[in-house]
Structure 1
Amino acid sequence: MGNTDMFEMIANMYDTPERIQIAKVSSDAIRNFWVETKSKNAIDFGCGTGLVGMNLLNEFKSMLFLDTSQNMINQIKQKITNYNIQNVDTLCFDIEKDSLSDIHADYIFMAQVLLHIHDVKLVLSRLFDALNEGGHLLIVDFNKNEKIVSDIVHNGFYPEELSNIMTEIGYRDIQFKTFYTGSKIFMGHDASMFILDSTKVHR
């Protein structure tokens, strides 16, 4: 998955006050879309150091922290040990190279992950396959920002365009909204963030 080498280098200094704050508002936004999750399993996809998932651990029966960066996963393992957390597992895995054939979840959430993914449709398709019937994929990311020009990340997304791609894959009941605007939060630029909820509908 994109930019793994960069994340390997910054893993041990990733948890800045700014990132912790963004993770909190992202977690709160994600939580608003849940229904009766105590018996459900979740994946924090592209979890980084687990800032979002750690905020949501108590809402689920179990959670898998998944990232392409082994150093990020090591940071989570340290947190799991420090806080004696029981209901979690970790996996270092690159979904752009292979599919999650033997892993399934009721909820998958990804916060500021999609902008690092080269082949967006491929990854969203593989996540669809990993969802249980009736399961939800929740995406938190930046709205499209034309001021940002980068070779390493997408400059945000139009949720409407994302919805069209996801509908083609099979996601249903797609809804989205902008929930946060911040100063210099996206590569030094002011930016806004959206949350998108989608469902793998029973057939």
Structure 2
Amino acid sequence: MGNTDKFEMIANSYDTSERIHIAKVSSEAIREYLVDAKSKSAIDFGCGTGLVGMDLLSEFNSMLFLDTSPNMISQIQQKISDLHIQNVETLCFDFEQERQLDIHADYIFMAQVLLHIDDVEVLLARLYDVLNEGGHLLIVDFDKNEKIVSDMVHNGFDQKKLADMMMEIGYADIQSKTIYSGSKIFMGQDASMFILDAQK
């Protein structure tokens, strides 16, 4: 996944108050879209140190924390161990580089992950295959922001264009809305965040 090297370096100091706040905004937005999830499985895709997934653990029957950075996975493993959590697993895997694993879930959520993905369409198609029939993909990310110019990340996403691309892949019942605006939250720029829910 994009920028793994960068995340390897900042894993130990990743949980800043700002990131914890944005993660809380993300997890609360995701929670609103969950339906009968207590018996369902989830994947926290691009989980980082697990800030979003840890906040949603009680909503699901089981959760897989998945990231490309071994250091990030080691941070989440430490949290799991410290809190004696039973219904979770971790996996270090790169969906952009490697052939798909035989894993499936009812819910996949990704918060501020898509902007780091080189080929968004390919990744979303692979995640479609991972979803169980009737499963949901929930994306929390930044709205398109023309002030941001970077060769490291996408400068956010146009919600309609993203939804159109996902419909082409096969996703259905797509809905999205802007959920948060903040000062200097995206590459030093004021920005807004959206949530998108899509079903297989």
TM-score class, shorter-chain normalisation, is over 0.9
1:15-37 Cα deviation digits (max 9, x unpaired): 00000000001000000001110
2:86 is the alignment partner of 1:81: no
| Maintained 8 Å contact 1:77/1:90 | yes
Partner of 1:5: 5
Partner of 1:179: 179
Partner of 1:16: 16
Partner of 1:130: 130
1:38 is paired with a residue whose SS is helix
Partner of 2:53: 53
What letter matches 1:110 in structure 2?
Answer: M
Shift of 1:66: 0.2
Shift of 1:57: 0.2
Task: Give me the whole-angstrom Cα distance separating, in 2, the residues matched to 1:135 and 1:169.
Answer: 15
2:141 is the alignment partner of 1:146: no
What letter matches 1:135 in structure 2?
Answer: G
Partner of 2:113: 113
Shift of 1:2: 0.4
Partner of 2:165: 165
The count of corresponding residues between Structure 1 and Structure 2 is: 200
Task: Give me the whole-angstrom Cα distance separating, in 2, the residues matched to 1:149 and 1:43.
Answer: 30
Gaps of 5+ in 1: none
Task: Give me the whole-angstrom Cα distance separating, in 1, the residues matched to 2:180 and 2:46.
Answer: 20
Partner of 1:90: 90
Partner of 1:195: 195
Shift of 1:67: 0.3
| Maintained 8 Å contact 1:99/1:126 | no
2:101 is the alignment partner of 1:101: yes
Cα 1:171–1:99, aligned 2, differ >3 Å: closer, same or farther?
farther
1:98 is paired with a residue whose SS is coil
Gaps of 5+ in 2: none
Shift of 1:100: 3.1
What letter matches 2:145 in structure 1?
Answer: N
What letter matches 1:163 in structure 2?
Answer: A
Runs of 4+ with >4 A deviation:
none
What letter matches 2:152 in structure 1?
Answer: I
Task: Give me the whole-angstrom Cα distance separating, in 2, the residues matched to 1:188 and 1:119.
Answer: 24
